[in-house]
Structure 1
Amino acid sequence: MASEPSSLTDSRLAALCAEAARDAVVENERHFDEITRRARDRFLARDWRGSFDDSRERLRLYSLILDSLTNRTCELMADRLDHRSIWKATKAAYSALIAKSDRWEIAESFFNSLTRRIFATEGVNQAIEFVDTDFDVSASEQHEIARTYSGGTVTKLITELLTDESVGGFVAEHWRNLRESVELAAKRLDAALSGADRIEIIRAVFYRGRGAYIVGRALRGDTPVSIAFALSHPDESDLILDALLIGEADLAILFSFTRAYFRVDAPCPFAFVRWLRDLMPGKRLADLYNAIGYNRHAKTEFYRDFVHQLQNSNDRFVQA
């Protein structure tokens, strides 16, 4: 029989609360991924209503799971809910539980959301919140984010990446006028970067609204140029290559914070957004996390940028 919360020691209570938080973040990740991975089928079926509903469901998911976790935490802690020493122990236990997660930074922000719910706006407390990360970030840099295409003409490489299902592409039977579209794209790319010898493509397609985007970079030696292939499915027939976006400026507009979130499968967001930032050096990490649907963690990154700016500049607040 489970012990009543009032009979638990502080350390045992902290462990139970940490486990509840870990279970909640795992549940959030599972549902987030399930919704995100529907995007391909929605796009191929031209199920725009279903796509819109998925976006809305995913947007609400975080708050629904956090609400449930908040209630569970309040039940467990009862009259010890505001004991900071227990929260400090809970954070330490939780940090150990998420240590092997590929989304540890998302899990840290999830815990911060919980403490915000409990303590509202009572400042920032490093002891009970992940103001800075607890982890060595280098371990997440080992993930293979992109696939490289080389050993052929630019036309051949573009055809290969667009039809490569291993990176989310679509087999040739799905396309309309693929050869003509690829030839036009190759000419446009050659005008921007003559003699490109390879193309690196992120191993996932970005879906938003009625569009799909295959994102990466073309290279000539060590000289890169950022690119994105814009795909559409306008009628009941086949897919169309609508446009080739070239350069950081084009991609920055595509990833603008004013647009809806992408649905893209990113098993390791830390490595994923840093690869994206290589394509768009002018973008902040907060903007890129936001673009792929991790808007809550984007706030964490924004705050860290803000603190870093204050600590490394002579900027001063002035009265507006």
Structure 2
Amino acid sequence: MFEKLIPYDVAHIILGDYTIYHREYKRITKRAKIRFERRDWKGIQADSNERITLYRDMVGSTTEKVLEFLGENRHHRDTWHMVKQMFTEEIFNFNSRNIAETYYNSVFRHSHKGLSVDEELMYVQATGTYREFKSRVPIYHTLYLLEPFHHTIRQLFACYTFDAPYEDLERDIFYISDTLEKKLKSLNYHGNNSRIELLKALFFRNKAAYIVGRLMLEEHSWPFVIPLLHKEKGIFADTVLLEINDVSSIFGYNRSYFLTDTDIASEMVDFLRTILPTKSMGELYNSIGFEKHGKTVMFRDFLRHLYMTEDKFISAPGIKGLVMIVFTLPSYPFVFKVIKDRFPAPKKVTEKEVKEKYQLVSTHDRVGRMADSHMFENFVFERDRFSEELIEELLEDAPSKILLTDETIQITHLYVEKRMVPLNLYLETATIEEAEEVINEYGKAIKQMAAVNIFPGDMLLKNFGVTRLRRVVFYDYDEIGFLTDYNFRIIPPARDIEQEMSGEPWYSVGPMDVFPEEFPRFLIGRKEIRDIFQRLHGNLFTAKYWIDVQERLKRDELVDVYPYRQRLRFSKVYNL
């Protein structure tokens, strides 16, 4: 062995496995189109899960190879310094260099358990803009808009072929052309320099395929997204989305990641940013399935934000939880969650179980109703950015996870999530119209989670948040479980008045028993809000509703959940 080449060989162990990972990632992604054509919805969900676990499994395997190869030099800084230098040289002309750097970081961290961040031996900061890599041909189709629009829309569909028939292509061409014409009229646009630019890669998730692009009017752009569904009679366009907020919801942090085939991820993210200006780069990398790199980008953004601000971390607004300490930086749109060392009654879960619940949510279909989170280990903050009250709370409730020095606070296990307004706080200042809107959303959230076999367990208002788009999302996972594991029951009638007036139940209660008719007593306190919920979602208070959902799940039925407003669907617009 040439000892001087050890760093080079280690760099190529990592690079070789990264190449295998990237190839397998693309192979899984490419299956999505085939599964859509075959209406293999279970297969698409399985592929989504497989792609998430692929990264973790590959990093684990690579780490074992590296540690075995290095032997006694496994923690030698000079060796790792040379490994990073060799790796940097080898990936310098990689068009996926940014993703490769994240893969290297993951292997390095797995090789150095207990490490926080090493500025010298990791890619903590970006090594470039990554925009030096461009496809030799555009990653999008360009179609110029000429009236009548149906010629352009017919050309559009010719760009996306499937091994399955369309249900009624001429009908869909008319609906899209008509909607587009109405949009241009609403903008009072009469120019002749308009075009549609459409990403060549389709976006797949659950039962839908999405054509994603932008409508260009002179120098201004609007989203242009067509969701395609595939029913028994064939493929059809369900709507066309032309507003930022509607498309933002599809790419939300509370949804599962898309299966979409891309060679240069940074190029696709740059395109998406033009139609989703409110999304961060990290969120967009997450949305297209590079969630580990999305985490890297989020961390880099966080460091820049800290450098540019001076406010202090404080306890997050809302009712304090029994399981988590939650804190936030007022100027930063995320919250940080630390598992407490001890949980008071009535909580019966363990720390291990809480971590398993968060892992479950990360791989399950979040159906737009469960917040995505990033888990960090040994996260280091500057101590002077924390309020003294927060430091005291952390040391009181989670001392085993806090390493405090004069200058820093290190947290051994931490979750980071997008910040929302707790639903109970939102309702305190909401008008009756706003309250009705979010209470309707609250009921929909519970029902849509049930449709994907998730029972929230603790459905109190404080465990749900309201997003910027006034969607209601669940974010407290310590009591979450599979719906089919529960036993939904009706409370049996009391034999006499003594039983009825007793403070104890007169019937047996198993650990997985749930009595929905009890929900009104503790879910919503204010009568006027409770009345709204009863009117809109009163069936949630019946055991029959839950049992019916369980039966559908046991029959392997996949319920349709649309990530856009029902009223935008062509079936609603044209009264089909």
TM, length-normalised to structure 1: 0.91
Equivalent-residue separation in structure 2 for 1:142 and 1:213 (angstroms): 22
Equivalent-residue separation in structure 2 for 1:77 and 1:112 (angstroms): 17
Q: Is the 8 A contact 1:95 1:134 kept in 2?
A: no
Q: What secondary structure, in the 3-state scheme, does the structure 1 residue paired with 2:50 have?
A: helix
Q: Is the 8 A contact 2:176 2:240 kept in 1?
A: yes
Q: Does 1:57 align with 2:46?
A: no
Q: Does 1:67 align with 2:60?
A: yes
Moved more, 141-150 or 278-287: 141-150
1:80/1:150 CA distance change after superposition, 3 Å: same
One-letter identity of the residue aligned with 1:232: L
Deviation at 1:186, TM superposition (A): 1.7
Cα deviation code 1:56-111 (max 9, x no counterpart): 22111111111111111111111111111111110110111111211110000000
Deviation at 1:173, TM superposition (A): 7.4
Q: What secondary structure, in the 3-state scheme, does the structure 2 residue paired with 1:243 have?
A: coil
Equivalent-residue separation in structure 2 for 1:47 and 1:173 (angstroms): 13
Deviation at 1:155, TM superposition (A): 2.1
Q: Does 1:218 align with 2:215?
A: yes
One-letter identity of the residue aligned with 1:198: R
Deviation at 1:141, TM superposition (A): 4.4
Aligned partner of 2:182 among 185, 188, 191? 191
Aligned partner of 1:174 among 159, 165, 170? 165
1:172/1:178 CA distance change after superposition, 3 Å: farther
Equivalent-residue separation in structure 2 for 1:171 and 1:303 (angstroms): 39
Deviation at 1:224, TM superposition (A): 1.6
Deviation at 1:284, TM superposition (A): 0.3
Which residue in 2 is equivalent to 1:290? 286
Q: Does 1:77 align with 2:70?
A: yes
1:50/1:172 CA distance change after superposition, 3 Å: closer
One-letter identity of the residue aligned with 1:61: L
Higher relative contact order (CA 8 A, sep 6+): 1
Q: What secondary structure, in the 3-state scheme, does the structure 1 residue paired with 2:293 have?
A: helix
Equivalent-residue separation in structure 2 for 1:87 and 1:263 (angstroms): 34
Cα deviation code 1:210-264 (max 9, x no counterpart): 10000111122222211100000022x3101111111211111000111111110
RMSD: 1.8
1:54/1:142 CA distance change after superposition, 3 Å: closer
Which residue in 1 is equivalent to 2:83? 90
1:208/1:29 CA distance change after superposition, 3 Å: same
Aligned residue pair count: 308
Which residue in 1 is equivalent to 2:368? none
Aligned partner of 1:160 among 141, 155, 162? 155
Q: Is the 8 A contact 2:98 2:130 kept in 1?
A: no
Moved more, 120-129 or 89-98: 120-129
Aligned partner of 1:239 among 202, 210, 235? 235
Deviation at 1:142, TM superposition (A): 5.5
Q: Is the 8 A contact 1:163 1:172 kept in 2?
A: no
Q: Is the 8 A contact 1:193 1:220 kept in 2?
A: no
Equivalent-residue separation in structure 2 for 1:212 and 1:226 (angstroms): 16
1:26/1:247 CA distance change after superposition, 3 Å: same
- Gap runs ≥5 in structure 1: none
One-letter identity of the residue aligned with 1:162: F
Deviation at 1:135, TM superposition (A): 3.6
1:116/1:52 CA distance change after superposition, 3 Å: same
Equivalent-residue separation in structure 2 for 1:190 and 1:131 (angstroms): 48
Q: Does 1:108 align with 2:101?
A: yes
1:181/1:296 CA distance change after superposition, 3 Å: same
Deviation at 1:183, TM superposition (A): 1.4
Which residue in 1 is equivalent to 2:133? 140
Which residue in 1 is equivalent to 2:307? 311
- Gap runs ≥5 in structure 2: 315-386, 391-576
Q: Does 1:276 align with 2:272?
A: yes
Equivalent-residue separation in structure 2 for 1:161 and 1:95 (angstroms): 41
Cα deviation code 1:264-293 (max 9, x no counterpart): 011000111011011111100110100011
One-letter identity of the residue aligned with 1:161: L
Moved more, 15-24 or 179-188: 179-188
TM, length-normalised to structure 2: 0.52
Aligned partner of 2:248 among 231, 248, 252? 252
Deviation at 1:123, TM superposition (A): 2.2
Q: Is the 8 A contact 2:135 2:264 kept in 1?
A: no
Q: Is the 8 A contact 1:157 1:198 kept in 2?
A: no
Q: What secondary structure, in the 3-state scheme, does the structure 2 residue paired with 1:283 have?
A: coil
- Return the index of the structure with the highest Cα Rg: 2
Deviation at 1:192, TM superposition (A): 2.1
Deviation at 1:159, TM superposition (A): 1.9
Q: Is the 8 A contact 2:37 2:162 kept in 1?
A: no
Q: Is the 8 A contact 2:198 2:214 kept in 1?
A: yes
Moved more, 280-289 or 43-52: 43-52
Q: What secondary structure, in the 3-state scheme, does the structure 2 residue paired with 1:174 have?
A: coil
1:302/1:220 CA distance change after superposition, 3 Å: same
Equivalent-residue separation in structure 2 for 1:216 and 1:265 (angstroms): 15
Equivalent-residue separation in structure 2 for 1:206 and 1:59 (angstroms): 17
Deviation at 1:174, TM superposition (A): 2.1
1:38/1:142 CA distance change after superposition, 3 Å: closer
Equivalent-residue separation in structure 2 for 1:31 and 1:142 (angstroms): 21
Deviation at 1:171, TM superposition (A): 6.2
1:173/1:127 CA distance change after superposition, 3 Å: closer
One-letter identity of the residue aligned with 1:146: Y
1:136/1:259 CA distance change after superposition, 3 Å: closer
